Amino acid sequence: MFISLRQLFEARRYGVRRAVDLAQLRVRFAGQPDGGQATLAERDLAIRLRDLKTRLAAAFGDVTACAACARNCPPPAGRWTGGRCCGTATSAVFTTQEVRALKLGGARAGRLPVPSSAFAGCAFRGPTGCSLEPADRPSACLVFACDDLRAELDATLEGSAVHQLRRDLSSAFDRFLCVPSEPPHHDLCCQAEAASLGWRFGPGA
């Protein structure tokens, strides 16, 4: 079994669970094309997604629901008081197609800022929220709004504009999924590559 110095460093710095997620994410990025291997339509949509995510994050403003929704929840969601929906698995939000869009938009796995706080679901979740710029987050992270957040938005004047941006982002990502492209690398391929790096995945990792 081969474990790189980088993986050892990350395991010491972030803990094994987060280091495993980061290694898997890098492999998933590596399995996707960069701009030179994509169609113009794919690249245009990837840039459009980044723009919509930035605008949507700004439009959310200072919502309060997200700051305390995880209180009294079991771990990992309840590790921090807010961000309950970020108490998920990194690979569940960074799907192959989300990673494809992120990479075509310019994101690079090795440059994503990682919190050094305790691991609590997604590798980028920290006590004060997500460590990533909105444009570098999966589209699903921006589109999703639970009942409590929707209720808060519905009670504000800006709520309808936020919902419109959520619909715009969702439909742009749907178009990205349908646009003709080179055959995507499948998750299984990524996992086989990851296994060759010496990491095990799943609950026992």
Which parts of this chain interact with ligand SF4 (CB under 6 A)? 65-66, 69, 83-86, 88, 93, 122, 124-125, 130, 132, 137-138, 141, 144-146, 148-149
Q: DSSP label at 201? A: -
Question: Is 26 or 137 the residue whose CB approaches ligand SF4 more closely?
Answer: 137
What is the rounded distance in angstroms from the CA atom of residue 201 to the CA atom of residue 205?
A: 5
Measured from the CB of residue 128, what is the shortest distance to ligand SF4 in angstroms? 11
124-128, Cβ contacts within 8 angstroms, sequence gap of 24 or more:
124/86, 124/90, 125/80, 125/83, 125/86, 125/87, 126/80, 127/80, 128/82
CA 205 – CA 18 distance, rounded (Å): 10
- Closer residue to ligand SF4, CB minimum distance, 50 or 84: 84
Nearest to 69 by CA among 150, 10, 2: 150
Residue 83 CB, shortest distance to ligand SF4, in Å, is 5
Cis status, amide bond into 180, omega within 30 of 0? no
Supply the minimum distance, in Å, between the C-beta of residue 187 and ligand SF4. Answer: 18
Looking at beta carbons only, is 127 or 198 nearer to ligand SF4?
Answer: 127
When the beta carbons of 78 and 184 are compared against ligand SF4, the nearer one is: 78
| Min dist. Cβ of residue 166 to ligand SF4 (A) | 11
